[in-house]
Amino acid sequence: MSYDLNMFDEETGIEMKAQSSNLNEELGQVEYVFSDKTGTLTCNIMEFKKFSAGNTSYGTDLQPTMPQEDNVCFHDPDLFRNLGNTNIENYNDLRRVMFFLATCHTIVID
């Protein structure tokens, strides 16, 4: 396996190494394979495109107009207007979500 030419990641230019060569022997012991097909035909890359604050959803399917970080594809002009408007109904929810995204981007709010 270590000499396989397909063990090369073209995107990063890194040659992959097999950690264990006993995989072939263990495959014969597999009786069931469960799969949800996630990532089988795709690159399996997650991008930040939308979020919700209170009852309002932010994010459009349009391409962003400003430069953004990797894995971020967010565009919604209403977000900046609403962040500056303390009179909107979900202003506190929006500020809270922005605070949590800025401090810990791995959270899930119920």
Torsion (CA) 37, 38, 43, 48 in degrees, nearest 10: 160
The helix or strand, by DSSP H or E, that contains position 101, with its residue range, turns out to be helix 91-103
In a domain, 46, yes or no: no
DSSP percent split of the chain into helix, strand, coil, nearest 5: 25, 10, 65
pLDDT-based confidence at residue 106 (cuts at 50, 70, 90): low
pLDDT tens across 27-38, in order?
A: 667 677 666 666
Catalytic residue chosen out of the listed positions 9, 36, 61, 70: 36
Cα 79–84–88 angle (5° rounding)? Answer: 75
pLDDT at 108 over 70: no
In a domain, 79, yes or no: yes
In a domain, 5, yes or no: no
Higher per-residue confidence, 40 vs 94? 94
In a domain, 58, yes or no: yes
Residues 6+ apart with CB under 8 A from 83: 94, 95, 98
In a domain, 57, yes or no: yes
Domain that holds residue 65: 51-103
In a domain, 43, yes or no: no
The pTM is what? Answer: 0.53
pLDDT at residue 104 in the model: 77
pLDDT at residue 101 in the model: 83
Q: For 50-78, what is the mean pLDDT?
A: 86
In a domain, 61, yes or no: yes
pLDDT, mean over the chain: 77
Active site residue 36: yes
pLDDT at 45 over 60: yes
Q: For 70-97, what is the mean pLDDT?
A: 88
State how many domains the chain has: 1
Can you tell me the distance from the alpha carbon of 107 to that of 95, in angstroms, rounded to the nearest whole number? 15
